[in-house]
């Protein structure tokens, strides 16, 4: 029997699954054809049957829901965008930065040139955190 941690890890989306979820989060319920066409146009070349098979696996994993009440099946995300991204980010912070969100922020700020507008946004965010 799988432990709770093993179950959540098996439901964690892969990079390709995240691409599909991003399309659904951005565009709402969609057909496999729409998602495949979008990925080909915006991301990289993918084969329709591969996209469809991956989406079927995602339904089995509980990442997608499928409405097959009509001739054309429509898929929608079964996981919330914020919760999914939050869990993945938490894993990155735990694994790469020993649980230090400050370490992640320092790495991010050190790797990219920050515009004055972005710096103001960061300052405002820090003020809001301090007020809590």
Tell me if 19 sits within 8 A of 39, measured CB to CB.
Answer: yes
103: nearest Cα among 112, 113, 93, 95? 93
Residue 7: its pLDDT value, please? 46
Is residue 102 helix, strand or coil? Answer: helix
List average pLDDT for each run of 10 residues in the chain, which is 132 residues long. Answer: 49 92 97 96 94 96 93 94 93 91 83 82 86 78
Mean residue pLDDT across the chain? 88
Q: Which domains are present in the chain?
A: 4-77 (1.10.10.10), 100-132 (no CATH)
Question: What digits encode the pLDDT tens for the residues 92-102?
Answer: 999 999 998 88
Residue 82: its pLDDT value, please? 93
Question: What digits encode the pLDDT tens for the residues 46-69?
Answer: 999 999 999 999 999 999 999 988
Residue 10: its pLDDT value, please? 58
């Amino acid at each position: 029997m799988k432990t709770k941690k093993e179950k959540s890890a098996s439901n964690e989306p892969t990079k390709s699954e995240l691409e599909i979820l991003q399309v659904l989060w951005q565009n709402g319920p969609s057909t496999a054809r729409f998602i495949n066409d979008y990925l080909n146009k915006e991301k990289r070349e993918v084969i329709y049957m591969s996209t469809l098979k991956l989406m079927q696996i995602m339904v089995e994993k509980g990442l997608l829901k499928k409405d097959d009440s009509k001739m054309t099946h429509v898929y929608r995300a079964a996981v919330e965008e914020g919760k999914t991204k939050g869990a993945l980010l938490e894993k990155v912070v735990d694994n790469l930065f020993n649980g230090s969100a400050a370490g992640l922020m320092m790495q991010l700020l050190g790797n990219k040139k920050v515009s004055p507008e972005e710096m103001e946004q960061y300052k405002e965010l820090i003020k809001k955190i301090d007020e809590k």
